[in-house]
Structure 1
Amino acid sequence: MIRIAEEKDIQPILEITKACAKSMISSGIYQWNEHYPNTSAFQKDIKREELYVLEINHAIKACIVISAFMDSEYEPIKWLTPNINNIYIHRLAVHPQLQGKGYAQQLMHFAEQFAIDNNYSSIRLDTFSQNKRNQKFYELRGYKRLGDIYFPKQSEFPFYCYELVL
């Protein structure tokens, strides 16, 4: 079941994202670290009612942020649609022990259906340039790579921006 996250969900979400960070780092992918994602980011997501969790047998196993807010880092990108009426995907995480079971697909389908149901013109996101698995995941869903942005606290390498026009 996918539902909107609550304050009590932050600790299990952090456990998932920390497990994801550890797994990525062990594979040489320095996308997430001790600075990101963090409690503060998830608290803001909950206040904005943008954080969703995938719950299995009453336990949180994955999360996704579906936001209408455009971060300033995205401003230089030449998007396919005007910068109005878009949603942004952030912090998609599935516990490493559960990856490969289709849960990320479920969360993305949920986000895409949410965007369609609410008449958004596109879905935008970024993924780390060193994370080939994520790039393939989004490209197979029809997302188009458009440009690069940087998050210096996370990595010296760029993050690739993607957009799916609805």
Structure 2
Amino acid sequence: MITKAQLKDLPEIKSLTEACATAMIKKGIYQWNEHYPSLEKLQDDIKDGELYILRENSEILGIIVITETMDEEYIPVKWLSANESNIYIHRLATHPKVWGKGYAQQLMDHAENFAKQEGYSSVRLDTFSQNLRNQRFYEQRGYKRLGDIYFPKQSEHPFYCYELLI
């Protein structure tokens, strides 16, 4: 079941993101680390009502942030649609013990259905250039790769921006 996260979920959410960071680093993907996503960032996501959790048998197995806020890093990107009615996906993560079991698909289905139901024109996101698995994941869902952006505090490598028109 996918629901909005509550502040009481924060410790379990932070634990999930730390497990993801550790598992990605073991695979040579230096996308997340001990500083990102921070506890404060996740707390703000919850307070803003933008962080959703996928829970099964009372355990949080995945998270996703769905927001209308366009980060300033996205401004120079040549998007497929106008910057008026879009949602942005951040911090999509599933616990490493359930990687490959379709939970990320469920979270993205939720986000895309939300966009359709609420009348948004597109779903936008970025993914790490060194994470080939994520790139395939989004491209198989019909997302189009557009420009590159950088988050120097996370990595020297670029992040690729993607958009799916609704």
Do they fold alike, i.e. is TM over 0.5?
yes
Aligned position for 1:101: 101
Letter of the 1:106 partner, please give it: Q
Aligned position for 1:15: 15
Classify the secondary structure of the residue corresponding to 2:136.
Answer: helix
Cα root mean square deviation, aligned? 0.5
Give me the TM-score of the superposition, normalised by structure 2: 0.99
Q: Deviations over 1:72-100 (max 9, x none)?
A: 00001000001111000000010000011
Aligned position for 1:132: 132
Aligned position for 2:145: 145
Q: Can you give the 5+ residue segments of structure 2 that lack an aligned partner in the other structure?
A: none
Pairs aligned (count)? 166
Classify the secondary structure of the residue corresponding to 1:80.
Answer: coil
Letter of the 1:109 partner, please give it: D
Give how far 1:49 is off: 0.5
Q: Can you give the 5+ residue segments of structure 1 that lack an aligned partner in the other structure?
A: none
Aligned position for 1:164: 164
Give how far 1:134 is off: 0.1
Alignment of 1:79-90 (within 5 A): 79-90=79-90
Letter of the 2:151 partner, please give it: F
Identity value in percent: 64
Aligned position for 1:116: 116
Aligned position for 2:63: 63
Moved runs in structure 1, 4+ residues, more than 4 A?
Answer: none
Q: Distance in 1 between matches of 2:93 and 2:13?
A: 9
Q: Distance in 1 between matches of 2:32 and 2:4?
A: 23
